[in-house]
Structure 1
Amino acid sequence: MLVATDLRCEYLARPLGIDLPQPRLSWTLWSRERGQRQTAYRLLVASTPELLAREEADLWDTGKVDSERTCHIPYAGKPLRSLQRCYWKVRVWDVNGEPSEWSEVSWWEMGILHPDEWQAQWISAPIAEPAPLFRKEFPVRSGLQRARALICGLGYYELYLNGERVGEQVLDPAQTDYEQRAFYVVHDVTHLLRNGQNGVGVMLGNGWYHQAVVWGGMSYGEPVLLLQLVLEYADGGRELVCTDDSWKTHPGPVLKNNVYAGEEYDARREIAGWSEAGLDDSGWSPVQVVPSPTERLESQKIPPIRRVRTLPTVALTSPQPGVWIYDFGQNFAGWARLKVQAPAGTTIALRFAESLYPDGTLNPESTGVFATYVVQTDRYTCKGAGVEVWEPRFTYHGFRYVEMTGYPGTPTPDMLEGIVVHTAVPPAGTFECSDEMLNRIHRTAIWTEISNLHSIPTDCPHRERCGWLGDAHVSTEMTIYNFEMAPFWTKYLEDIETSLAEKGLPTFVAPGKRKIGEASPDWGTAIVQIPWYLYLYYGDTQVLQRHYPTMKRWVEHLQNIAEGY
């Protein structure tokens, strides 16, 4: 008996926002018998699960295809429309020619296939800091069947509907060369809407789009927002709620935010109900409609950055009066969650570092202060309303130790928790052996890697945080053995393409404005190595086709500069 399981579309399980007209389908085989293999398959794709249950594939029926192929089969059915959901299943034939049962039903959902389908306009606030809030109210009539929010908030966004945060992603969307491409994200928000009046709100942070502090400032412009809310009703009606000049904006409680320097938050400036219907927003300002900041919008098809783990404090010391050092036991990337009760106006300062001086005080030297001229620092000003819980939104840090100052009493270990944050790539492999030293080396390597997965492969989570090509290609195989990395590396290869130097050759760093010029041979070879690894480990020929011209150009460049070759 052979079974098809783990159905994927473009490497993803049940994805939203696939903006490719011919997405690729894959599955995994499972059998209790040795020596089994697939000899044929049949795919059915339908517009409803009811049709699929009756084996009525109104979108695509491959018929029986004699093939051992189980991955990257391009959809070749009827043309698909934007935001359409496609249900599919597969049956396979085994080595003896016996057919399997049908797989479980899976689905994928399309993104925007034609640029002219964007009705939303880009908007911005008069100032970037304090971080701006945006809001609008809109009606929803009865019979709502499906609602999708398509959003691009540059640099980072948080989306709210009727006071509820949408999604678990943080530091979203992923970093790109924004002037060439920017990612929109699709959210299913059906469950957050109700009949009658509704409220939508967005908070924008600077992110990498408006990084104006370190390296002399490398901003693409002040934060901008694009949002298209699509409402579909049971009677066939369809309505759009889009960003335009009818939206309003107001400064929020995030006073300052920078991916390197940290975040400052004043809870006294919070506006209750700011993302709900019924707020008196007469004191809010009109937004500005601005030109598009990017050449093209693409759906984000890599796992988002998420909070993936919480670390407790393992030690709390006070090397000086009023100075408290929290030790989380190991280095990681993320931030600290603060739980505090203090009078209104009390400002708690948190500084982050990897090591301590001999006297037990914080030593930020290894975090690159000599280069960035900033110490990773968050500040929270209390509103004085009982126990307050806060964590930053638009920054992250590389650290083990946190220095707390400004607290008017004696803090306890549970006042801070370490929040581990990285691109949420699913695990794909594990390692364990009888030698505990090797096990520890492997665990250390894993922690090092996940501390440097933040939509790009960074060199470190504090000082540079750049996508150096050399660091990327030497770690590619290691990451593939341990995580599901194909969407991540596919995205990064496009970052290399959008960062090419004048001769069409890779730069040292991609993406971003800090490219450091044309890459040396040992760095630029990433454009050859990474596509090869994706083919070698995932059987992906499309990635070779896509990047072959740049790969070829790079090899020819190496031949031209080689001496004695």
Structure 2
Amino acid sequence: MSWTARFISSRDEGTAAPLFRREVVLPTGHGEVVSAVLRLAAHGVCEASIDGRPVSDELLAPGWTSYEWRTRYSEHDVTERVRGERFAIGIRVGNGWYRGRLGWEGARALYGSRLAVIAELRIRFADGHHHLVATDSEWRTSTGETIADDLYDGQRIDARRARPGWDRPGFDDSEWAHVEELPSDTSELVASTVPPVRRLREIAPASIAPSPSGRMIADFGEDIVGWVRVTVSGAAGSRITVRHAEVLEEGELAIRPLRSARATDEYTLSGGIDVFEPTFTFHGFRYAEIEGWPGWPAGSASDRVAADVATGLTAVVVGSDLPRIGRFSCSDPELTRLHENVVRSAQGNFLSLPTDCPQRDERLGWTGDIAVFAPTAAFLFDAQAFLADWLRDLALEQQANGGVVPYVVPDLFRHTGIPPALEPFDATAVWGDAAAWVPWALWQAYGDPAVLREAYPSMAAHARRVRSLLSADGVWDAGFQFGDWLDPTAPPDDPMAAAADPGVVATASAYRTARILSETAAVLGRSGDVAEFEAQAEALRAAFRRLFVSDRTITSDCATVYSLAIVFGLLDDDQLGWAGDRLAESVAASGHRISTGFAGTPFVLDALTLTGHLDDAYRLLLQRECPSWLYPVTLGATTIWERWDSMLPNGAVNPGEMTSFNHYAFGAVADWMHRSIGGLAPAEPGYRRILVEPRVGGGISWAETSLETPLGRASVRWELEGERAHLAVVVPPGSTALLRVGDLERELAGGSHELTVPVSPSVSAAAAPVPAPNPASLNSPRPVA
């Protein structure tokens, strides 16, 4: 549908968030209003109301996209709001990603210096008459109580500057300014297909207590993303400041991990009862430091004041409202907690796009993070529309970069320049491979070839770009690479200094991508491309084996290189035995502590499992000492950390310049937990056929996993009794399942099944090495014969 409306803007380009209003008188003689739909978008982030009531519960709309080419618009059914003869539309606009600060170099207004809004209200009457209300020069603008707002720095609200009734009919706007119409290219506007950002839940403070310095600290009990809603009364003009942080250090807010982000909201009181909610920002935090609360400190009355503060503070958790579809729990409470932490980190970082962290001066769509986490995300949530939309921006940014997938999407660095430490800019392994790995994960999870069809040009462009970068030896061993990012052996100030040779990581990743392209081309019926990418894959495999494999060793001889070689299918069947043994030796030599980074961690447990070392996989997963998945859990973590030791055992924050306590990448382990502990995996894309293969071990006595598949609910529950396992399996209608437990292999039709089978947990891993898995099916089980 074409647009009649124009983008409108305030001529005042100050820091205060602009308000826009229009009073509407409906024509008469056409009967009742039978439908009214409001379409809305902004350069910035916006909130609309009619007669003082929000038109929706969406937040931070229209979200962050590659604004040069795409800005989402939303549609809202407001029929019940416009049945009267007269009403008013109000829209407030904040800086958001469009004009706010982005990145750690302090850049602002990367997409434009003018905040603007565009809206159309299309009304249809009973007699078929249509009436249009659109943003144009007749609208009025002013400012209100929000005097500054920024996603990184927070929001400043002065309740004395509120304009009661400004979005209701009859308000006197004679002193408001006329808006300015801007040149409007509405071809950039695309209908939103993603779940909006919403308030997901609310949390009361777990405690209110003074810090060692006497500052009031509210602890909300978990690391969340959102803000604190404040309800308070006090003297007019007095100010309350709320500063946020993820952890405490020596009892005070640990603000160093914020880097330059202020993460501070400031509220000036009106003198009455004020409710402050900073909906034009968001913070990653567990703790909030409250300064200026009336009556604090109050000596012996401090307990009463603390109780008053507790009733006046509510943490509001926000994020893209993705439906939850996958669940897991087991007999080990810390392992179940780890899984819950993965869920929280995904929810916190799925805010308009898949970001890296929610608290510091970054919050960017790093491609490497979602490349390795996509299979987990696609199990936990219905993430197809959310990630498919992000892939559209990836393709646009890639095209603008001459076929090179950027490090972050939207591509901040195309505006600010590539950081020197990340040069020279070109295709990179894992990060750039998101172009292929993410759509393939969505295909495996949901079975809809449309995502492959749409993403295919981007996937192929990346694979061909990688081919152009190979050396004369046929491997990818030149140029900048992130490598096995955040390998725990790397020093805090050099996260790329991993044990794994970056050329080995890059060549292995390039092989997997080429195999995915060959498989994708086959799904889409592109026979010529099948041959092209199959040849590319086989050439990479041969070069990998020729240059990096010798004397039963892979170059750099560390856990990551063996994991990638095994799981990606770079080795022959007769090589899997020694490679798996060497991996197990490496894992044991590290004391069954983690020795892998972003590239190796998602695959190390699969590599151990596939080569008959399930006991080592469980010992690695269940390790509690640092570095390990459960080490943060033992310290009370409620989300996944960016670094294995984001907090040191002595309670100090990691000294590295880059430290986050809410970063989902290492949570990719949940994918193995779903498939190998829970026993629920797709044997065919979209779970048309299911593999039920729980791998009993690790001292776990029961586990249960469920998933709302495209065909219906599937679930597996097993419980040990001695050397027998009781299983309850639900196969959705229209699907079938292959059950493998111990020596049993059985076909299951749709419906509910219960059975008891013998197992030997202590020797469950002592199986012969299995054939190399299809690398295109990575993070799904090995193909079923």
**Equivalent residue, structure 2, for 1:382:** 269
The answer to whether the aligner puts 1:511 opposite 2:410 as a matched pair is yes
**Equivalent residue, structure 2, for 1:126:** 11
| Offset at residue 281 of structure 1 (A) | 0.7
| Offset at residue 491 of structure 1 (A) | 0.4
Q: Match for 1:397: what amino acid?
A: H
- Cα deviation 1:200-228 (Å, max 9, x = unaligned): 11000000010247533242122111000
1:551 corresponds, among 459, 462, 467, to 459
Q: Match for 2:62: what amino acid?
A: P
**Equivalent residue, structure 2, for 1:406:** 292
The answer to whether the aligner puts 1:362 opposite 2:253 as a matched pair is yes
* Corresponding residue SS for 1:348: strand
**Equivalent residue, structure 2, for 1:199:** 88
Q: Percent identity?
A: 36
Whole-angstrom distance in 2 between the partners of 1:213 and 1:409: 37
Q: Match for 1:520: what amino acid?
A: T
Indicate how the Cα distance of structure 1 residues 213 and 461 shifts in structure 2: closer, same or farther if over 3 A, else same. Answer: closer
**Equivalent residue, structure 2, for 1:217:** 107
Whole-angstrom distance in 2 between the partners of 1:470 and 1:477: 13
**Equivalent residue, structure 1, for 2:381:** 483
Whole-angstrom distance in 1 between the partners of 2:132 and 2:316: 37
The answer to whether the aligner puts 1:148 opposite 2:34 as a matched pair is no
**Equivalent residue, structure 2, for 1:81:** none
Q: TM-score, normalised by structure 1?
A: 0.76
The answer to whether the aligner puts 1:324 opposite 2:238 as a matched pair is no
* Corresponding residue SS for 1:499: helix
Instruction: Write the mapping of 1:450-465 to structure 2, written as runs, cut at 5 A.
Output: 450-463=347-360, 464-465=362-363
Whole-angstrom distance in 2 between the partners of 1:316 and 1:293: 51
Indicate how the Cα distance of structure 1 residues 453 and 213 shifts in structure 2: closer, same or farther if over 3 A, else same. Answer: closer
**Equivalent residue, structure 2, for 1:48:** none
Whole-angstrom distance in 2 between the partners of 1:329 and 1:320: 19
Greater shift, 416-425 or 494-503, is seen at 494-503
**Equivalent residue, structure 1, for 2:174:** 282
Whole-angstrom distance in 2 between the partners of 1:243 and 1:277: 17
Q: Match for 2:463: what amino acid?
A: V
2:277 corresponds, among 391, 403, 409, to 391
- Cα deviation 1:39-88 (Å, max 9, x = unaligned): xxxxxxxxxxxxxxxxxxxxxxxxxxxxxxxxxxxxxxxxxxxxxxxxxx
**Equivalent residue, structure 1, for 2:701:** none
List alignment gaps of at least 5 residues for structure 1.
1-111
| Offset at residue 295 of structure 1 (A) | 4.7
Whole-angstrom distance in 2 between the partners of 1:514 and 1:488: 23
2:371 corresponds, among 452, 460, 473, to 473
| Offset at residue 323 of structure 1 (A) | 2.1
The answer to whether the aligner puts 1:441 opposite 2:338 as a matched pair is yes
| Offset at residue 512 of structure 1 (A) | 4.3
Q: Is the 8 A contact 1:179 1:293 kept in 2?
A: no
* Corresponding residue SS for 2:330: coil
* Corresponding residue SS for 2:311: helix
Q: Match for 1:123: what amino acid?
A: I
Whole-angstrom distance in 1 between the partners of 2:413 and 2:218: 33
**Equivalent residue, structure 2, for 1:15:** none
**Equivalent residue, structure 1, for 2:583:** none
Indicate how the Cα distance of structure 1 residues 437 and 445 shifts in structure 2: closer, same or farther if over 3 A, else same. Answer: same
Whole-angstrom distance in 1 between the partners of 2:187 and 2:122: 23
Q: Is the 8 A contact 2:120 2:132 kept in 1?
A: yes
Q: Is the 8 A contact 2:25 2:87 kept in 1?
A: yes
Whole-angstrom distance in 2 between the partners of 1:258 and 1:302: 23
Q: Match for 2:276: what amino acid?
A: W
1:420 corresponds, among 301, 311, 317, to 317
Whole-angstrom distance in 2 between the partners of 1:321 and 1:466: 34
Indicate how the Cα distance of structure 1 residues 212 and 398 shifts in structure 2: closer, same or farther if over 3 A, else same. Answer: closer
Whole-angstrom distance in 1 between the partners of 2:56 and 2:6: 23
- Cα deviation 1:345-381 (Å, max 9, x = unaligned): 11100000012221x22221122x1xxx232000111
| Offset at residue 322 of structure 1 (A) | 6.2
- Cα deviation 1:95-132 (Å, max 9, x = unaligned): xxxxxxxxxxxxxxxxx3xxxx2110110012342100
**Equivalent residue, structure 1, for 2:69:** 180
Q: Is the 8 A contact 2:32 2:83 kept in 1?
A: no
- Cα deviation 1:479-526 (Å, max 9, x = unaligned): 111111110011010010121243222100001433545341220000
1:271 corresponds, among 155, 163, 181, to 163
* Corresponding residue SS for 1:414: helix
The answer to whether the aligner puts 1:561 opposite 2:469 as a matched pair is yes
Higher strand share: 1
Q: Is the 8 A contact 2:229 2:275 kept in 1?
A: yes
Whole-angstrom distance in 2 between the partners of 1:486 and 1:293: 29
Q: Is the 8 A contact 1:322 1:407 kept in 2?
A: no
Q: Is the 8 A contact 1:263 1:378 kept in 2?
A: yes
* Corresponding residue SS for 2:339: helix
Instruction: Write the mapping of 1:211-360 to structure 2, written as runs, cut at 5 A.
Output: 211-212=100-101, 215-219=105-109, 220-221=111-112, 222-292=114-184, 295-319=187-211, 323-358=215-250, 360=251
**Equivalent residue, structure 2, for 1:67:** none
Whole-angstrom distance in 2 between the partners of 1:356 and 1:156: 32
List alignment gaps of at least 5 residues for structure 2.
297-304, 419-424, 475-785
* Corresponding residue SS for 2:334: helix
Q: Match for 1:285: what amino acid?
A: A
| Offset at residue 233 of structure 1 (A) | 0.5
Q: Match for 2:151: what amino acid?
A: V
* Number of residue pairs the alignment of both structures matches: 444
| Offset at residue 560 of structure 1 (A) | 2.3
| Offset at residue 321 of structure 1 (A) | 6.7
**Equivalent residue, structure 1, for 2:731:** none
Q: Match for 1:442: what amino acid?
A: H
Higher helix share: 2
Q: Is the 8 A contact 2:379 2:445 kept in 1?
A: no
| Offset at residue 154 of structure 1 (A) | 2.2
Indicate how the Cα distance of structure 1 residues 514 and 462 shifts in structure 2: closer, same or farther if over 3 A, else same. Answer: farther
Indicate how the Cα distance of structure 1 residues 244 and 149 shifts in structure 2: closer, same or farther if over 3 A, else same. Answer: same
RMSD: 1.6
Q: TM-score, normalised by structure 2?
A: 0.55
Indicate how the Cα distance of structure 1 residues 418 and 546 shifts in structure 2: closer, same or farther if over 3 A, else same. Answer: same
Whole-angstrom distance in 2 between the partners of 1:191 and 1:447: 36
* Corresponding residue SS for 1:402: strand
| Offset at residue 318 of structure 1 (A) | 1.3
Whole-angstrom distance in 2 between the partners of 1:207 and 1:506: 25
Q: Match for 1:382: what amino acid?
A: L
- Cα deviation 1:355-413 (Å, max 9, x = unaligned): 2221x22221122x1xxx2320001111111x322110110000111001012313432
* Corresponding residue SS for 1:301: coil
Q: Match for 1:420: what amino acid?
A: V
